[in-house]
Each structure stands twice: as structure tokens, then as C-alpha cells.
Chain A
Amino acid sequence: MIISIASGKGGTGKTTVATNLALSIGKCQLLDCDVEEPNAHIFLKLQMMESRSVGLPVPQVDLEKCTYCGKCAEVCQFSAIAVIKKNVLTFPELCHGCGACSLLCPADAIKEVDRKIGTLEIGQSDGIRFIHGILEISEAMSPPLIRAVKEAAHNNGTTIVDVPPGTSCPVIEAVRGSDFCLLVTEPTPFGLNDLILAVEMLRILKIPFGVAINRSDVGDDKVDDYCHREDIPILMKIPMDRDLAVAYSNGIPLVVAKPEWKAKFMELFDAIDRMV
């Protein structure tokens, strides 16, 4: 079973829920798909076992073979290759790695080489198999790295996916294939607005979902009202607790700071298990 933890709005507690759920279940996989700002590793005592570079195939033109016909530039939808008189310019950072230029080159003058976009690391911690991706700084394209993180996962057992904030391509890449998505929000106007966007996204993707409300006693009741109106199950509430906030700030998981929370995360897991 794959459970993804997403939110729309940033900073609502996705990583808190994902890491504590994994720590409570024990034997599972945890994938940190927030490759722009990966944080889950901070809360685990990890032993890293493997590290490898992840690349995207980009064109390399053999000017000996090139006839400067311009086909590559014509087919590229991302303006990543240009033919100017007797020269071919490539813009690797714009390339989406689709392979059109090399496949369609009539002179067979283009081969693909890997351009590094990030690093994939695999580790373990008390029965948890952990995988995350670290996007290179100044690299724009995160979805291929997210895909690599998901491809490195085993297909059996329970897998928890920590998703980046937002509702566009990196989020979709991270949540697709999930059996269930838990949306973590907070009871504020920003929390509600972004929750609604995330709900619309999951409905399009046809992924079953529920809600966890963090800092549940601040703000107003509108998130509760919305969930009741839309018949969305509220599966967990975590109240605002300064001790928990301080533990979080020091990189200490909630279930370590307050072990009584382990039972609540197990209940959350059982509730999700029953719904899938």
C-alpha cells in the first residue's frame, strides 16, 4: 500500500506526519519526494547505504555527421536546440529529455548524454527503508528526480511518500500511483484555500484521500466545516503544542518527544488501511 502525504500549502506538517507515521509503523519504506527541500532525513537516525547521481538525457551533436538541416530545432518543443548556419547550439537546462532530436535526426548525428540533475540516496533506520532525492542547486526540473526516487522503491509492503508543497507537476509526479493520499492542513484561511486546490487535484487524479489538521486549535472552524460539507474524513488532529514545536525545531520526531502519539499514528494507519 502506498500512502502519500501532501498539502497544497507549505509548512503545514507533511514531513512531521510522514516521518512519525513511518516511525510508528516500523517496517515500511519512506520516500522523501520533496527533492527541492528534502527534510525527512533530519528526523531519522539514518545509515546511508547507497548514493548515486540521477541524470536527464540531453543531446550531444556530432558536427562531423551533422548536415545542419535544422530538423532537431524544428521538432524540439522546448527551444533546447538551435541550428545557426554551421553551428548547433544546445541549451541543456531547457531540455526535457524527450529524445525527439536524436530519434528524428536524419543524419544520426545526435546521441544522448546524461546531465546530472540530482542525487539519489538510499538508507535505513530501525526497519525503515528510506529513499530521497536531492535536486542540484539551480536545477529547475524536479519531476525526473522524483520519478527516480519512486522507481528505486520496492513494490511490496507499506510505502509512505512525503510530497512537496503545491499542486502542479512535482506534486502530481509524487502522488500518482498512491492508494491513498493524506492531506495535511491547518485551520486558517491559507490552509483552507490550498486544501481545496489539493482536493480538486486528487479528484482529477482519482486518488482516495482524507485530511489531517495540524495546529488544530488555532484559526477558525472553516476547514472542519468544509470537510463535513464535502464528506471528507478528518483522520487526525494535532493541537498546537509549544513543546512539540520546540522538539520539531531541534529535529526530534513527535513520537520520540511524546511517545503516547505512537498509538495515534497507528490508529491513523489502521483507519487508512480500512479505507483502501
Chain B
Amino acid sequence: MKSITVISGKGGTGKTILTASFAALAKSKVMADCDVDAADLHLILKPEIEREEVFEGGKAAWIDRDKCVKCGECTAACRYDAISDDFVIDPISCEGCALCYNVCPANAIEMKPSRQGRWYVSKTRFGPMVHAKLGIAEENSGKLVALVRQQAKLIAERDNLEYVIVDGPPGIGCPVISSITGTDLALVVTEPTVSGLHDLQRVIGLTNHFGIGSLVCVNKYDLNIRFTDQIESYCRSVGAEFVGRIPFDTIVTEAMVNGKAVVEYNEYGRVSEEIRRIWRQVDSRAKRI
């Protein structure tokens, strides 16, 4: 079993579009949507939920107003400005550090589990999928990402599947680090823009830091061929394998509007041809690990 994570640094470069097509192309796999903040893969894969679980990632402090003596110890100690002057805790600001609970001389503070999301195991037309929904305005997405990734891996092991295909979040912070932890290969989708190249360099810095092999492809490459060439030579200079150039084509949005992966909606189009070529390279590289 091999795990492949699709990431990008910059948002909106086409991670989910590519992941959905890989889901259609890979023969034996489980999908994991690790962009739990703004999950979109379900819009294409249309999962039928078979198992639903609550995710409790942490605790938040709560003040019992009957016991509170309004001494102000908690407000003085809290570094997150989470406690108001009239001793009410804002659950959105609360980091769950429990310092207030520990310093309260009146034992008026309780740490209560906060419900921070749900995760699901579902059936799709391409195979099993693990996905999640983070509670609105909640934190701890890194832990939920780790949970989704681990559950997908368990399914792959149980059913003896060849691949875990992970749709990752944008950025390079906590949820991204969590989604690439333990992955065998990262596929970075970028775009031929100054921002795309800038963000690619940071995300490659991240995969290199964790010793994860990276493949890179450029989406909408013909928007700026000069930058696409620059990205390809950058990849060569840092030892990342450059695996493809996907042309700009309105068929991609059309497929999305119709709830289909590009390779199913327009099987023989130029975008689908290139995505298949990229998948073959991902597949062959993964098999060599």
C-alpha cells in the first residue's frame, strides 16, 4: 500500500480536480479528503455515507458563574484574551490550555469537551472514501486531518488496496504538515504565475524538510509558458520530478458543474490525456518506492 498526497501551497490550483481524476484512474484505492476546512471532493465523488463519527479534538474552558468569585486570576493568566471582563469565556478564542482552570482559586472553571467536527466513511462510484467536516469556526483541523488519513490507511490495509489517494489542503501549515505525515509521495499542483512559483518553492521546502519525494505538475500551463518553463527548471534544480503540463480548458469547469471527474466527463480530451499521463508517472514512481 502506498499513500499519495496532492498538495499545492497556493490555493485553487486544481488539487481536487486532479484527485477526483486519480480516483477514477487508479484501480485499487481509497480516497481521503484531508482539506477538512473547505472540503470539495465530495461534490465530484458524491459519497454515500456508511459510517458517521463525532470528532472531539480538544476541550474548552467554561466558568460556573455560581462559583466564580470574580477575582480576576483567570483573565490575568490567559494569553488568548478569551475571558471577558465579566468572566465569560469566548469558546472561539479559547485555546484549551486549561491555565485558567489551574489557577482558579474557587474551582469555578471546568474543561468541557468541545465538539469539533464529524468524520465519515463512505461508498463512492470509485471506491471507499474517508472525509470530514470541521465544525464552523473550530480549531484543531490538524488532528482531524490525521484522523482521516489514518482511517483511510486502515481501510487500505483491511481491503488490501494499492493506494491511499489524499486530497490535501492549501498552505504549508498545520493541516498540510498533518496531511503529508507518513505519505510516500507528494504531488504538487501549481500554476504558471509569480505567486504559483513563489508558493511552490515554499511547499517543496516543506516536503524536502520531511524527506518526502515530490512530483510537480503545472495546471493551466499555457496561460504563461515562460513561467511553466521556469517552474520546470526550478524542479530540476531541487530534485523534484516534473510530470506534466495541463492546458487551460473550460471543459474542467464544465465537468465540475456536472459533478464529474474530467477524465470521465471528457475521456479523450486534451486535459484528460495529460492527467492520464501524469497518473501513469505517479503510479510508476510510487511502485518504485
Contacts of B253 in A (CB 8 A): 188, 218-219
A37 contacts chain B at the CB level, 8 A cutoff: yes
- Given A42-B198, A77-B96, A188 contacting B256 (CB threshold 8 A): yes
Q: How many residues from A make CB contacts under 8 Å with B?
A: 57
Q: Is A204 touching B172 in the complex (CB atoms < 8 A)?
A: no
Q: Is A249 touching B227 in the complex (CB atoms < 8 A)?
A: yes
Q: Is A193 touching B40 in the complex (CB atoms < 8 A)?
A: yes
Q: In the assembly, what is the distance between CA of A218 and CA of B205, in Å?
A: 34
What per-residue 1/0 map shows which CB atoms of A177-193 lie under 8 Å from chain B? Answer: 00000000000111001
Contacts of A197 in B (CB 8 A): 37-38, 136
What per-residue 1/0 map shows which CB atoms of A74-98 lie under 8 Å from chain B? Answer: 0101100000000000000000111
What's the minimum C-beta distance from B90 to chain A, rounded to whole angstroms? 10
Q: Is B206 touching A166 in the complex (CB atoms < 8 A)?
A: no
B65 contacts chain A at the CB level, 8 A cutoff: no
- Select from chain B the residue with minimum beta-carbon distance to A205: B137
With beta carbons under 8 angstroms apart, the residue of A10, A78, A220, A250 that contacts B12 is A10
Q: Is A141 touching B103 in the complex (CB atoms < 8 A)?
A: no
Q: Is B171 touching A165 in the complex (CB atoms < 8 A)?
A: yes
Q: Is A189 touching B171 in the complex (CB atoms < 8 A)?
A: no
Q: Is A249 touching B193 in the complex (CB atoms < 8 A)?
A: yes
Q: Is B139 touching A99 in the complex (CB atoms < 8 A)?
A: no
Contacts of B172 in A (CB 8 A): 36-37, 135, 137
With beta carbons under 8 angstroms apart, the residue of A9, A139, A172, A189 that contacts B38 is A9
- Select from chain A the residue with minimum beta-carbon distance to B13: A11
Q: In the assembly, what is the distance between CA of A219 and CA of B257, in Å?
A: 6
Q: Is B10 touching A10 in the complex (CB atoms < 8 A)?
A: yes
Q: In the assembly, what is the distance between CA of A242 and CA of B139, in Å?
A: 38
What's the minimum C-beta distance from B227 to chain A, rounded to whole angstroms? 6
Q: In the assembly, what is the distance between CA of A201 and CA of B253, in Å?
A: 26
Contacts of B2 in A (CB 8 A): none
Contacts of B195 in A (CB 8 A): 15, 37, 39, 42, 248, 251
Q: In the assembly, what is the distance between CA of A238 and CA of B130, in Å?
A: 36
With beta carbons under 8 angstroms apart, the residue of B103, B134, B205, B223 that contacts A137 is B205
Q: Is B173 touching A140 in the complex (CB atoms < 8 A)?
A: yes
Q: In the assembly, what is the distance between CA of A103 and CA of B103, in Å?
A: 9
Q: Is B206 touching A137 in the complex (CB atoms < 8 A)?
A: yes
What's the minimum C-beta distance from B265 to chain A, rounded to whole angstroms? 13
> Most chain-B CB neighbours within 10 Å: which of A15, A37, A171, A219?
A37
- Given A36-B173, A37-B202, A99-B79, A172 contacting B137 (CB threshold 8 A): yes
What's the minimum C-beta distance from B258 to chain A, rounded to whole angstroms? 9
What's the minimum C-beta distance from A147 to chain B, rounded to whole angstroms? 9
Contacts of A168 in B (CB 8 A): 37, 134, 137-139, 141, 175
Contacts of B47 in A (CB 8 A): none
> Most chain-A CB neighbours within 10 Å: which of B80, B169, B195?
B195
Q: In the assembly, what is the distance between CA of A197 and CA of B37, in Å?
A: 9
Q: In the assembly, what is the distance between CA of A199 and CA of B208, in Å?
A: 36
Contacts of B202 in A (CB 8 A): 36-37, 137
Instruction: Enumerate B148-204 residues with CB–CB distance to A below 8 Å.
Output: 169-178, 191-196, 198-199, 202
Contacts of A169 in B (CB 8 A): 139, 141
Contacts of A141 in B (CB 8 A): 173-174
- Select from chain B the residue with minimum beta-carbon distance to A134: B202
With beta carbons under 8 angstroms apart, the residue of A15, A77, A140 that contacts B97 is A77
- Select from chain B the residue with minimum beta-carbon distance to A214: B12
Instruction: Enumerate B111-139 residues with CB–CB distance to A below 8 Å.
Output: 134, 136-139
Contacts of B205 in A (CB 8 A): 137-138
B102 contacts chain A at the CB level, 8 A cutoff: yes
Q: Is B223 touching A246 in the complex (CB atoms < 8 A)?
A: yes
Contacts of A15 in B (CB 8 A): 195
B289 contacts chain A at the CB level, 8 A cutoff: no
Q: Is B170 touching A100 in the complex (CB atoms < 8 A)?
A: no
Contacts of B134 in A (CB 8 A): 167-168
What's the minimum C-beta distance from B247 to chain A, rounded to whole angstroms? 13
Q: What 10 pairs between A and B have smallest CB-CB spacing? A: A10-B11, A11-B12, A98-B97, A166-B37, A36-B171, A251-B194, A249-B193, A140-B174, A249-B224, A165-B11
Known interface pairs A10-B12, A166-B37; 4 further A-B residue pairs with C-beta atoms within 8 A, sorted by A's residue number: A39-B194, A98-B95, A99-B79, A140-B174
The chain B residues found within 8 Å of chain A, CB to CB, are: 8-13, 16, 37-38, 40, 43, 58-59, 77, 79-80, 92, 95-99, 102-103, 134, 136-139, 141-142, 169-178, 191-196, 198-199, 202, 205-206, 209-210, 223-224, 227, 250, 253, 256-257, 259
A sample of 25 inter-chain contacts (CB < 8 A) reads A11-B11, A11-B13, A12-B11, A12-B12, A36-B172, A100-B98, A137-B206, A137-B209, A140-B177, A142-B171, A142-B173, A165-B171, A166-B37, A166-B169, A169-B141, A188-B257, A189-B256, A189-B257, A189-B259, A190-B40, A197-B136, A218-B253, A246-B224, A249-B223, A250-B224
